[in-house]
Structure 1
């Protein structure tokens, strides 16, 4: 039984909500024979797990096929199968002979090799390429760590001969790898030297606000806030083969008002 709309409009808001709630409850009480049978949540979860497993299997097969294609091509054999568009365009420009290679050193981490495909790259394009390549390398490193953890857990479970223990160990390690601790500056320096932990999602806007690029060849910091993002690397003294590194912005430029 639905309440009268005209009477509801005259009532205060609390009494109106109470009347609607009571009418909804009365409408929900009906004989069991007329009730619609709801599907079980367990079967729905089983279907979602099956779809997720099928999707993961398709992704794994696609990645394996793409890896085989890249290995058969001599020019692209050095590229990973999950190469980013920036890496692919950089390799093409490197083969054509009009690329700009920049090496970015990171404290406690591997050195990034940034290959820019633009003929006259800007500082904004360099910063975008650094973010893309570093994020791609971080994902690959975490994937290798999770794979190693799976293999280690599977080997220990086979030695013990307990299948249930194997399932528990692998599940626990997979969860730890998926929730890997990531510092706010892990993409620019080692997380082992930071005193506190941050969320796993990294904001490059925050990183560029805290860190700046330093030209090792000229021993000069690059103040990208003082110039337009369209400023070319040549105008800033960055040539092909230049070595850069990350430094704390406050050390060279002082504190800047948050915008």
Structure 2
């Protein structure tokens, strides 16, 4: 389309949506007015977008306030009982089932040592836990502990002289810097990539753990992991070689 020709809503009406939006965007960047009256259809679309954004923001604020009030109430209830004082208000199902298994004496506790990070205490409630269940529990508990530490940091900043404004700013900085850099506080972890590059190492037996044994269904006892074992992360390539996900080779067809 000739750029010297003035745009009008009448010409834009019969265009495809992607081309129409592109021309409108370019005209807006050139500070150029579009001739004619804007179709009611476009006005209604813009108004619906604004209303939807306002509604979503209001619902998000209500949901956040409800979660905060619920968490505070749960903390009061749990702190009033000495037996439940060590249970966090945002405990996951894995942690609750582990606490019940500890009370009945049927739990398997594994300590996962991490370089530069707190040690994970993983309590498995299954009678005969497998290596796949251990890996899933590690991911769940690591994410839960990270969220708690991040929440404590924001609360600590809120109690400083700057007040709540600094807390909200700090929370945004934590998220933004995590997206730009890869700091320790990054919440989203690709566990699929992590398990492809790292494996667990049994510090008590000084042997690496082959998590691919029996397609992940191998029990911890068969792999030499006992109750109270201390595990660490090591590079998988050192013990099992490199494992790359390349394209599958087509199967050969035998000629008769």
Aligned to 1:91: 99
1:66 aligns with 2:63: no
Matches within 5 A, 1:216-227: 216-227=203-214
| 2:229 aligned partner | 242
Identify which of 142, 151, 154 aligns with 2:159: 151
Q: Is 2:202 the counterpart of 1:215?
A: yes
Shift of 1:19: 10
Aligned twin of 1:21: 14
Structure 2: gaps of 5 or more residues: 1-10, 21-35, 247-256
Say whether 1:56 aligns with 2:54.
Answer: no
Q: 1:178 aligns with which of 175, 180, 196?
A: 175
How far apart, in 1, do the equivalents of 2:75 and 2:220 lie?
34
Quick check: 1:105–1:245 contact (8 Å CA) kept in 2? Answer: yes
TM-score by length of 1: 0.71
Q: Counterparts of 1:231 and 1:251 in 2: how far apart (Å)?
A: 22
Structure-2 separation of matches of 1:82 and 1:71? 13
Aligned length, in residue pairs: 217
Aligned alpha-carbon RMSD (Å): 3.6
**Other structure's SS at 1:233 match:** coil
The residue that corresponds to 1:119 in the other structure is 127
Q: 1:225 offset after TM fit, Å?
A: 2.2
CA distance in 1, matches of 2:211, 2:180: 24
Alpha carbons 2:146, 2:187 under 8 Å: kept: no
Deviation at 1:227, TM superposition (A): 3.7
Distance 1:46 1:235 in 2: 56
1:36 & 1:125 partners in 2: Cα distance?
Answer: 51
Distance 2:93 2:48 in 1: 44
Per-residue CA deviations over 1:180-226 (Å, capped at 9, x if unaligned) read 4279997xxxx49xxxxxx7521111110011000001100111124
